[in-house]
Amino acid sequence: MKAIQHTCVNRFLRYVTYDTQSSEESTTFPSTEKQKVLGKELVKELREMGLSDAQMDEWGYVTATLPANVHHHVPVIGLIAHMDTSPDVSGANVKTITHPDYQGGDIPLPAGVIITAQDNPALATQMGNDIITSDGHTLLGADNKAGIAEIFDAIHHLVEHPELKHGTIRIAVTPDEEVGRGTEHFDVKAFGAQFAYTIDGESLGEVEDETFCADSVTLKIRGVNVHPGYAKGKLVNAIKIAAAIIADLPQDGLSPETTEKREGYVHPHHISGGVEEAVIKFLIRDFTVEGLHEKESFLKERADNILSHHPKAAMDFQVAESYRNMRYEIDKNPDVVDYAMEAVRRANVTPVKGLIRGGTDGSRLSYQGLLTPNIFTGGHNFHSRQEWISIQDMHKAVETIVHLVQIWEEKNRPGNHA
């Protein structure tokens, strides 16, 4: 493949100057209007590249098309990234620092934040590479402005080199992914892709085809409130019952702070109320639906046992589905992952099939009929002031995308039945 004259770093450094932090409290869509400011800039850039249909709709979705340069049928491939940054850490006034020729050790930042080699084992793979961070006062924004920059760099290269054959490519940049609403108004049918990829992963070479299965449990406890001076034998304190339920949960092996890899968890993340009524909200996570239901049954059994000691109390146990492991859908057509793994290999990187201990836009899109695994960006420590990304790994992400769309074309050439 002809060497890529990369534009992704300059694009990335420009994008992170836009404050696009989304909001969990907002009821609008997008949750913050400032995301659309970057959206307008992205539309302008796409049109300057020659993608004449580039637009941003009323919801803040930026879309564009790079037409096929072959005549035979190739499935339409979507490339997706998100423009918002996490509500957890400020994304305003990001000041970037490039640390050239990394030679190991900790990376101290001006704000007093230290990116330690001990807590960042991936730094051991970056010897001689160039690392970008913020100054430590804010997050960096690699999640997911690096993905946008890498997609745009790949599209720019394909436009400049029409000898690289590909089918129709659809581009989408979504708002509000970080608050779980990225696909809320996304029109899969209008987007028109048959398969897609989010460029929103982390470590070099990773292709992720699994997410958690996720449910939310709301547990409401109703007690009996009477004047505490005359409460003997009458008062039932919902707060104490709620506290007993939480205290009864195992400390090891079922909490996010003690689990990793394929282990799921039961996570009480919100509690409110008073003597008469208390509410606990739980996040339930597992990589299988069966495991999810086992954890919900376990939680209900433990809560029922606590309630059995308080016969005058009552409990409502409500389960709401959040999302499901996208692998259940992606396994129906393994080509979508196999081609991504091959693209990583062609970029001279060892592919690693990974899983996401969370959810992505790809989870929901896969269940809407658009199979959407996730590809690495080269970023690390997302949602943190210790966030960092490798320039060389960004370049490999771009190469992977360029190889990927060519693989889809190759596999669908007449006479090729691979």
Active site residue 84: yes
CB 150 within 8 A of CB 377: yes
C-alpha–C-alpha distance, residues 84 and 42, integer Å:
13
CB 318 within 8 A of CB 359: no
Give Cα 207 to chain centroid, integer Å: 13
Using alpha carbons, list the distances in angstroms from residue 386 to 9, 83, 247, 389.
19, 20, 33, 10
| Catalytic residue from among 45, 143, 176, 177 | 177
C-alpha–C-alpha distance, residues 264 and 344, integer Å:
29
C-alpha–C-alpha distance, residues 190 and 175, integer Å:
17
CB 79 within 8 A of CB 170: yes
Residue type, position 33, single letter: E
Our CA dihedral for 162, 168, 172, 177, rounded to 10 degrees, sits at -120
Active site residue 177: yes
381 Cβ partners below 8 Å, 6+ apart? 115, 120, 387, 388
Q: How is the chain split among helix, strand and coil, in percent rounded to 5?
A: 30, 25, 45
Cβ density class 15-29: b for 16+ within 10 Å, e for less = bbebbbbbbeeeeee
Cβ density class 313-329: b for 16+ within 10 Å, e for less = bebeeebeebbbbbbeb
| Catalytic residue from among 19, 84, 153, 387 | 84
- What does the block give as tokens for 416? 């090729």
CB 198 within 8 A of CB 187: no
Per-residue DSSP letters for 101-148? S--SS-EE-TTS-EE-TTT-GGGGG-TT--EEEE-SSS---HHHHHHH
Q: What positions carry a catalytic annotation? A: 84, 177
